[in-house]
Amino acid sequence: MQAATKPQTLGLLLILAGTALRVELESAVTLALVGLFQVITAPVISQLLGRSAYRGGSVCREQLVVDELAGKMPEERSS
């Protein structure tokens, strides 16, 4: 899942870099902080989204080549 966030992050960073060249220094610093925030949070969010889809049953486990979460997920309790 984290590989899916790389093109999105790269695209945003390139847009922010191009914009930073055209604005004042104070705004460029803000754009740099936005880029840093994106680089830090995008992989974390994609990991949480994937784990939540796995827990919710949206992932067909028979089609997974490697299931790294199988041993880490708690057993489901029937209520």
Per-10-residue mean pLDDT, the chain, length 79: 79 95 94 93 86 81 78 63
20 in Cβ contact with 28 (< 8 Å):
yes
In a domain, 24, yes or no: yes
In a domain, 32, yes or no: yes
In a domain, 44, yes or no: yes
Q: What is the pLDDT of residue 31?
A: 95
In a domain, 34, yes or no: yes
Chain centroid, CA 73 distance in Å? 21
Number of structural domains (the chain) is: 1
In a domain, 62, yes or no: no
In a domain, 18, yes or no: yes
Q: Which two structure tokens, joined as six digits, stand for 48?
A: 């949480």
Whole-prediction pTM value? 0.65
The Cα 40–Cα 24 span in angstroms is: 25
Cβ count within 10 A of residue 34: 15
Domain that holds residue 16: 2-53
Q: What is the pLDDT of residue 77?
A: 55
Q: What is the pLDDT of residue 32?
A: 94
Q: What is the pLDDT of residue 2?
A: 66
Chain centroid, CA 79 distance in Å? 33
